[in-house]
Structures are given as structure tokens and as C-alpha cells.
Amino acid sequence: MPQPSRPRLTFVTREGCTICAEALEHFQKAVRRSRVSLDVVDVDADPVLKDAFGGRVPVVLGEAGDVVTEGRIGRSEARAVVTAARRGLGRGRKADEPPRT
């Protein structure tokens, strides 16, 4: 019997971005023991992503392309996002919605 596909998050980053590097480290630790895949994409390597998120990195996208979280992302937020993805819970908003305050 085939195994179900793993939930997937996309981490949008930029080379040289220190808050991106810190957030990515939190996400890499959070996914290590989960059944969630984490794709890391450089915003400057994709014109569509650069248009959408060029000034907003880091950004984490859910499977449907929704923004799950962005900006300074701490360890607890990274774990919460990974847990929600693993459980199939929608925590995000569409890319064209304003950030939560």
C-alpha cells in the first residue's frame, strides 16, 4: 500500500539575510522528526516569488501557496507551523492578504 504524501512547506529566503538564516534553522530543527517536508527557495532565483515576496523574506508557504508565517520567526512559531502542517490544519492566509497584526 503506498504511503500518503508528506505535507510540504516552502521556506522563501534570500542569500545574506540573517533573520532568514535564524528562522530556517528553527524550521530545519522542527521538521527533523516530523513527517513534513521543507523546501528552501531563494526569492531572487524565481521572478514570481521575487514579485510577491521580494521585500518580505523570510516567508513560509503552505502547500496551497498560502502564507503561513513571515518575518521574525522564533522556535515556538516554527514548531507550531510544522505541527499544524503535519495535522493538515490551515494556519495561513493567501499571499495577497495583509499580514496579521
Name the domain count of the chain.
1
Do the domain assignments include residue 94? no
Name the pTM for this structure: 0.83
pLDDT tens-digit series, residues 23-47: 999 999 999 989 899 999 999 999 9
Nearest to 55, CA basis, from 70, 75, 38: 70
Under 8 Å between Cβ of 81 and 11: no
How far from chain centre, in Å, is Cα 81?
Answer: 8
Summary mean pLDDT of the chain = 87
Q: For position 62, which CATH number holds? A: 3.40.30.10
> Which residues sit opposite 7 in a β-bridge?
none
Do the domain assignments include residue 99? no
Instruction: Report the C-alpha gap between 79 and 74 in whole angstroms.
Output: 9
Domain span holding position 52: 8-87
Do the domain assignments include residue 27? yes
